[in-house]
């Protein structure tokens, strides 16, 4: 594979440009070796049975963008949740943009991975957390090998972060084709609470491939609320690898909203290393055209008395393909586990496809585990009810779809995000409902 | 000492060749171990098969050589050495025991619990029987009744000779020779099996089991079954036996093909209770089966499976719903205890319009066993108004076993309605307490609860079998109360 060779050979050049202490160097070298051995995943792998990367990998991506491109805030304002005050970490073509960002070191660290990897004062954290839960598969290894830039967030004990943190990656189309590999590390200490919003946005129709890795550590009783908004151009593809390591009594919630992009693959992995942990994964997927969205989730119940909730809704139109591959593993020790998994889908078009594979692997007996999955259409009698009350077909359909995805929307804690998502959905469905749902 | 020269070597090779050679004596009762083309041809010759059949087997063998053993199933076992197996041994005509007193008392105790008649017990345990007249006459009566209706029911080797046109037309159409590793192996070396043809519009007057159970001698390890239900006909076919069979064959790779033509219905029930290995997980049968049915227009195929035996089971009875309005059903209970492993499930391939499928799978794991459900529901683009309902429930007994669910659902049509649900639970202490309180001991209480859990599937079995299957569940789970 051409891209693979290009990446492997450009690793040498990359190593020259970064000056880091030896442990990171070792991790990177190890990672590139593992990428060389593993390569990009193919459909032969069980986890990639329904998603082929071939169409995405054929472009000649530039790995290190040369020119910097300045963006004006007013041009890109619409991609922010700008109604609320927030910390912002903004990247343009993979480079940090200081004038668009708002970082802090005051009581908490919201800053850059490049700084964290090089400055001695972060060494302890990096040694303890960096690359500790990321898996060794090809794509994650590739990211690890080239890990340099991204967000670094460290919330100290008992700190409730008063405003959300937005991480946005813009690509400007300066290069014919661009490959980005952001690497984020988020450490949330005891009793701390943080809300994070992540978005990847391409501003032109040049192909962009983002291979992102995020490691999240939630310590005792910490709360993390994470929102991923994926509403990119038809030319952009995203492979998102998120690893969450939870300690006792912590709560981690990840909402994924997938509305756009050529190919989106979300690898979401939760590891419960403590008792009484709650992990929640929710998602709404509404796509059409030739879009492809693949949700691949894993919840690993290692200790007793924990819970996990998964709820994914999908609406597929046009030639879209939706994949849900959810896995719940309950270890022998993890008695009294409650694990729920739901995946509901609606097919609008005859050319759309849904492949779903909700899996349970259970080794403990005193557990409550269930999964449910449905594929169907909008309820005709409900449709008739709305139509008989004078609501036009398109609006009636949209209302039913809102109702379908409502319990995911309902659990969004930031009202501005909820509004934004509602608007995006309304736009996707081509309706103006004129009121807030 | 004289030097060992090249000539000596040549001489030695020559003698060797003479000693063992590549010639196989088809008169002998058991073939030498190993598998090559000669063996395949020899099996075919031994069974006096026509040339086309030999070729068919050879084709399968050619494909098999190129294939590798699958390892995707959620089971662990030492792979059998395919060159260490003897691929043909004639059914043993010599009785194993002279009188029933010599039979393992444990086995007899199980027979007793299952309520199997003394004659049958003898037959099953391999005891010489002095009065066979009775069963022969019963079998003959059956044969007459079936013959009147035009139903063909015989061993597949007989069918190859007597009805080559039917066998030639249908054999391998549902499970092609190259379908998978074990199907290819089976196609090359299958020893025997059953063939059943129900003519147009005929409703088979009896469960084809009764006959089967009396008449069936050792079918060998590579069984091939072909059931054809012609337009508008109905047949209920029962395979296997509730009685534990102490078969020394390690590997069983059977192939079952069902063909339901327009408006036909086939009900295929299986009870499998092969030797599961001892409590330490030593020994036991590997059961790798390929079962598939093809439904034409308005046809219906219903699989009912009760699996309690075998050390490793790997079995996915499937339905290809090709015709419009066809229906596929799958009801299964898989019980694993001790070190048993089961990876079972079904495939429902919806091709025609208005096709319907139902999957009810109940898994019960006890001891240190692993029980997996693996299923595929596929709705193709042209399968309008396809409907599927799947339910997979697992019951865990003790905390050293595992229950796993791997459903694959692929929908390519917007009018498809698919529901899938799975639950995992254990027997509640309150349920047992409730029973105890009413004077039912714990062992009986568990049997009661398990029965309730599997009722939906047991109800689908033919009457007398359902009763036996119920007892079988009880016996399989004996001693697993934690």
Q: Which residue has the higher pLDDT, A389 or A118?
A: A389
* Residue-level pLDDT at B40: 85
Any domain includes A358: no
Q: How far B308 CA sits from the closest chain A CA (Å)?
A: 20
Q: Do B408 and A355 touch (CB under 8 A)?
A: yes
Residue A246 in tokens: 């939870």
Chain A residue with minimal CA distance to B366? A365
Residues A396 and A268 in one domain: no
Among residues A236, A255, A273, the one where a domain terminates is A273
Tell me if A357 and B411 make a contact (CB, 8 A cut-off). Answer: no
Q: With respect to residue A328, please indicate whether it lies within any of the assigned structural domains.
A: no
Residues in A touching B395 (Cβ below 8 Å): none
Per-residue model confidence (pLDDT) at position A249 = 93
Q: How confident is the model at residue A105, as a pLDDT?
A: 86
Tell me: pLDDT of A299 over 90: yes
Domain boundaries in chain B? 14-315, 352-482
Taking residues B440-466, what's their average pLDDT?
83
Q: For chains A and B, what is the number of CB pairs under 8 angstroms?
A: 114
From the list A345, A350, A368, which residue is nearest B413 (CB)?
A350
Q: Locate the chain B residue with the closest alpha carbon to A345.
A: B418
Give the pLDDT of residue B139.
54
Cα first-last separation, chain A: 48
Q: A359 CB near a chain B CB, below 8 Å? A: yes
Give residue B475's pLDDT: 74
Residue B136 has pLDDT above 50, yes or no: no
In chain A, what are the helix, strand and coil shares in percent, each to the nearest 5?
25, 40, 35
- B393: closest CA of chain A, how far (Å): 9
User: What is the rounded distance in angstroms from the CA atom of residue A186 to the CA atom of residue A109?
Assistant: 10
Q: Can you tell me the distance from the alpha carbon of A47 to that of A212, in angstroms, rounded to the nearest whole number?
A: 18
β-strand pairing of A251-258 with A278-287: parallel
Q: Which residue of B has its CA nearest to A347?
A: B414
Among candidates A361, A362, A377 on the partner chain, residue whose Cβ is nearest the Cβ of B414: A377
Domain presence at residue A206 = yes
Q: Supply the ipTM of this predicted assembly.
A: 0.79
Q: What are phi and psi for residue B285, nearest 5 degrees?
A: -95, 140
| Rounded alpha-carbon distances, angstroms, from residue B444 to A105, B42, B188, B447, B449 | 67, 52, 46, 5, 9
Interchain CB contact of B382 with A (< 8 Å)? no
Name the residue among B275, B127, B143, B243 with its Cα closest to residue B196: B143
Mean pLDDT of B38-54: 84
Candidates B404, B408, B413; nearest CB to A362: B404
Q: How does pLDDT run across B160-216, given as a tens digit for each residue?
A: 888 989 998 998 899 888 888 888 888 888 877 788 899 999 998 877 764 444 333
Q: Is A369 on the interface with B (CB under 8 A)?
A: yes
What is the tens place of the pLDDT at every residue in A8-45?
888 887 877 776 666 788 888 888 889 988 888 888 88
Q: How many structural domains is chain A composed of?
A: 2
Residue A355 with chain B: CB contacts under 8 Å:
408-411
d(CA B322, CA B328) in angstroms, rounded, equals: 10
Q: Which residues of B touch A50 (CB under 8 A)?
A: 410
- At which of A255, A273, A291 does a domain end? A273
pLDDT digits (tens, 9 = 90+) for B57-95: 998 888 888 888 887 777 777 777 777 776 765 544 444
B-chain CB neighbours of A376 within 8 Å are 416-419
- The owner of tokens 């919330």 is A155
Evaluate whether A328 touches A296 at the Cβ level (below 8 Å). Answer: no
Which pLDDT value is given to residue A5?
Answer: 84
Average pLDDT over residues B107-116: 60
Q: What is the mean pLDDT of residues B125-135?
A: 39
Q: pLDDT band at residue A233, thresholds of 50, 70 and 90? A: confident
Chain B partners within 8 Å of A366 (Cβ)? 399, 426
Residues in chain B within 8 Å Cβ distance of A46: 72
Give the pLDDT score at A241.
Answer: 94
The reply to whether residue A374 touches residue B400, judged by beta carbons under 8 angstroms, is: no
Residues of A in contact with B422 (CB under 8 A): 358, 360, 370-372
Tell me which chain A residues have a C-beta less than 8 angstroms from the C-beta of B449: none
- Using DSSP bridges, classify how beta strands A87-92 and A95-96 pair: parallel, antiparallel or unpaired: antiparallel
CB contact under 8 A, B411 and A353: yes
A133 is in which domain, residue-wise? 1-273
A374–B405 C-beta distance less than 8 A? no
The yes-or-no verdict on residue A411 having pLDDT over 70 is yes
Q: End of a domain among A273, A295, A324?
A: A273
The residue of chain B nearest to residue A363, with distances taken between CA atoms, is B402
The arithmetic mean of pLDDT across residues A287-303, rounded, is: 92
- Is A354 part of any domain? no
Check if A46 contacts B (Cβ < 8 Å): yes
State pLDDT tens for residues B229-267. 999 999 988 876 555 555 555 678 889 999 999 999 999
Nearest chain A Cα distance for residue B426, angstroms: 6
- Closest in B403, B411, B423 to A370, CB measured: B423
Residues of B in Cβ contact (< 8 Å) with A329: none
Please identify among residues 190-209 of chain B the ones whose CB lies closer than 8 Å to any CB of chain A: none
B187 CA to centre of own chain: 15
The reply to whether A149 falls in a domain is yes
């Amino acid at each position: 594979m051409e891209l693979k060779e290009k990446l492997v050979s450009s690793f040498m050049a990359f190593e020259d440009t970064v000056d880091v202490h030896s442990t990171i160097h070792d991790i990177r070298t190890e990672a590139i070796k593992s990428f060389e051995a593993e390569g990009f995943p193919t459909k032969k792998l069980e986890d990639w049975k329904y998603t082929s990367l071939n169409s995405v990998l054929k472009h000649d991506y530039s790995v290190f963008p040369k020119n910097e491109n300045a963006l004006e805030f007013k041009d890109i304002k619409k991609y922010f949740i700008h109604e609320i005050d927030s910390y912002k970490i903004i990247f343009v073509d993979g480079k940090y943009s200081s004038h668009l960002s708002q970082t802090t070191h005051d009581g908490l660290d919201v800053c850059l991975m490049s700084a964290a990897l090089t400055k001695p004062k972060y060494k302890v954290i990096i040694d303890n957390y960096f690359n500790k839960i990321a898996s060794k598969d090809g794509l994650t290894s590739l990211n690890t090998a080239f890990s340099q830039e991204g967000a670094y967030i460290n919330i100290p004990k008992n700190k409730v972060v008063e405003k959300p943190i937005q991480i946005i990656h813009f690509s400007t189309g300066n290069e014919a084709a661009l490959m980005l590999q952001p690497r984020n590390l988020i450490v949330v200490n005891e009793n701390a609470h943080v809300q994070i919003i992540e978005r990847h946005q391409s501003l032109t129709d040049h192909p962009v491939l983002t291979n992102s890795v995020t490691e999240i550590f939630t310590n005792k009783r910490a709360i993390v609320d994470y929102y991923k908004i994926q509403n990119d151009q038809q030319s952009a593809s995203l492979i998102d690898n998120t690893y969450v390591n939870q300690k006792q009594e912590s709560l981690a919630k990840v909402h994924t909203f997938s509305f756009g992009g050529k190919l989106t693959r979300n690898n979401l992995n939760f590891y419960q290393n403590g008792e009484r942990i709650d992990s929640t994964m929710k998602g709404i997927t509404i796509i059409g055209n030739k879009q492809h969205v693949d949700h691949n989730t894993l919840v690993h119940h290692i200790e007793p008395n924990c819970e996990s909730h998964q709820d994914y809704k999908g609406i597929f139109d046009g030639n879209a393909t939706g994949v849900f591959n959810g896995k719940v593993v309950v270890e022998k020790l993890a008695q009294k586990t409650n694990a729920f998994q739901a995946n509901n889908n609606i097919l609008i078009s005859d050319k759309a496809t849904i492949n779903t594979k909700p899996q349970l692997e259970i080794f403990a007996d005193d557990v409550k585990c269930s999964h449910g999955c449905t594929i169907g259409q909008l309820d005709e009698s409900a449709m008739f009810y709305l139509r008989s009350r004078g609501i036009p077909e398109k609006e009636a359909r949209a209302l039913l779809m809102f109702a379908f995805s409502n319990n995911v929307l309902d659990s969004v804690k930031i009202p501005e995000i909820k509004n934004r998502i509602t608007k995006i959905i309304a736009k996707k469905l081509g309706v103006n409902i004129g009121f807030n749902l | 000492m004289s030097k060992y020269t090249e000539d000596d070597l040549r001489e030695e090779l020559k003698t060797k060749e003479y000693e063992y050679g590549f010639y196989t004596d088809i008169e002998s009762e058991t073939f030498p171990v190993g598998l090559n083309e000669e063996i395949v041809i020899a099996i075919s010759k031994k069974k006096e098969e026509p040339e086309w059949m030999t070729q068919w087997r050879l084709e399968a063998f050619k494909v098999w050589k190129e294939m590798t053993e699958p390892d995707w199933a959620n089971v662990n076992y030492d792979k059998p050495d395919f060159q260490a197996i003897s691929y043909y041994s004639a059914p043993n005509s010599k009785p194993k025991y002279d009188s029933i007193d010599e039979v393992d008392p444990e086995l007899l105790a199980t027979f007793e619990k299952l309520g199997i008649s003394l004659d049958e017990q003898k037959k099953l345990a391999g005891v010489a029987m002095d009065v066979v007249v009775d069963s022969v006459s019963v079998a003959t009566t059956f044969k007459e009744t079936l013959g009147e209706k035009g139903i063909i029911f015989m061993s597949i080797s007989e069918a190859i000779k007597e009805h080559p046109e039917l066998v030639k037309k249908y054999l391998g159409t549902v499970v092609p020779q190259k379908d998978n590793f074990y199907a290819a192996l089976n196609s090359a070396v299958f020893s025997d099996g059953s063939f059943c043809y129900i003519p147009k519009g005929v409703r088979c007057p009896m469960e084809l089991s009764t006959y089967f159970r009396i008449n069936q001698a050792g079918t060998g390890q590579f069984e091939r079954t072909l059931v054809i239900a012609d337009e508008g006909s109905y047949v209920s076919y029962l395979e296997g036996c509730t009685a534990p069979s102490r078969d020394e064959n390690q590997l069983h790779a059977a192939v079952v093909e069902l063909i339901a033509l327009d408006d036909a219905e086939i009900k295929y029930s299986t009870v499998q209770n092969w030797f599961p290995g001892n409590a330490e997980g030593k020994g036991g049968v590997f059961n790798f089966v390929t079962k598939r049915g093809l439904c034409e227009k308005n046809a219906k195929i219903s699989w009912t499976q009760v699996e309690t035996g075998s050390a490793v089971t790997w079995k996915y009875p499937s339905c290809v719903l090709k015709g419009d309005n066809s229906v596929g059903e799958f009801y299964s209970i898989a019980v694993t205890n001790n070190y048993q492993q089961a990876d079972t499930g079904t495939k429902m391939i919806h091709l025609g319009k208005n096709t319907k499928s139902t999957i009810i799978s109940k898994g019960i794991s006890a001891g240190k066993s692993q029980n997996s459900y693996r299923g595929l529901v596929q709705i193709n683009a042209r399968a309008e108004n396809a409907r599927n309902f799947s339910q997979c429930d697992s019951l865990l007994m003790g905390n050293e076993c595992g229950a796993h669910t791997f459903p694959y659902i692929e929908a390519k049509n917007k009018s498809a309605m698919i529901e899938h649900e799975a639950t995992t639970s254990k027997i509640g202490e309150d349920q047992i307490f409730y029973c105890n309180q009413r004077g039912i001991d714990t062992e009986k209480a568990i049997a009661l609860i398990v029965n309730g859990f599997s009722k939906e599937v047991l109800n689908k079995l033919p009457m007398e079998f359902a009763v036996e299957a119920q007892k079988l569940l009880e016996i399989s789970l004996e001693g697993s109360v934690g």
